[in-house]
Amino acid sequence: MAIGVVMGVVATHALPCVYLASRKKKQVKVGDKLPATVLYEGAPDTTVTLTDLCKGKKVVIVGVPGAFTPTCSKTHLPGFAADSAALKAKGVDEIVCVSVNDPFVMQAWGQAIGGDVRYLADMKGELAAELGLVLDATGKLGNKRNVRFALVAEDGVVTVVKIEEGGALTCSKSSDLLAAL
């Protein structure tokens, strides 16, 4: 089990976040097919199946521990929003952000961040589990979440994957994916 400690600011309070990354299921790797996980967009009755979303396309999928969390909101996702044109110039058809949140929160976060990124909710953490990227954040964020990651899938097959350890942001930034494409 990997443990990392990050200091973040939520509202006006300092919040130490301890991230525990579960390694029980094998992590997603290059060559794996993405699962047919159902995700939610904007409301609980609006579903998107990941395999349908990726069919015949090159898709960037960015996973974050939580919407409106400091690193995710200040650095990670704004980079993908700012670099969306550069990613699309490298052949990316769609950029998707997923997080274990409800679809209303993800929609509001997408409006706050902006950019050409689609925000989808993994309400029950099923995608995080299927990819082997579960983060046990129950002590600080209330439930299990995703480990921070970014991947590229072409027609549903993973071609690039960048998985962070602990609460770090060292390898899954938009600039890292641009360099890998």
Please classify residue 85 by burial: count the beta carbons closer than 10 Å to its beta carbon, then call 0-12 exposed, 13-18 middle and 19+ buried: exposed
Which residues have C-beta within 8 Å of that of residue 172, sequence separation ≥ 6?
Answer: 62, 76, 148, 149, 150, 162, 163, 164
Nearest to 144 by CA among 134, 132, 129: 134
The active-site residue out of 17, 54, 72, 97 is: 72
Nearest to 82 by CA among 111, 115, 49: 115
Distance CA 139, CA 95 (A): 30
Verify whether residue 72 is a known catalytic residue.
yes
Q: Give the active site residues.
A: 72
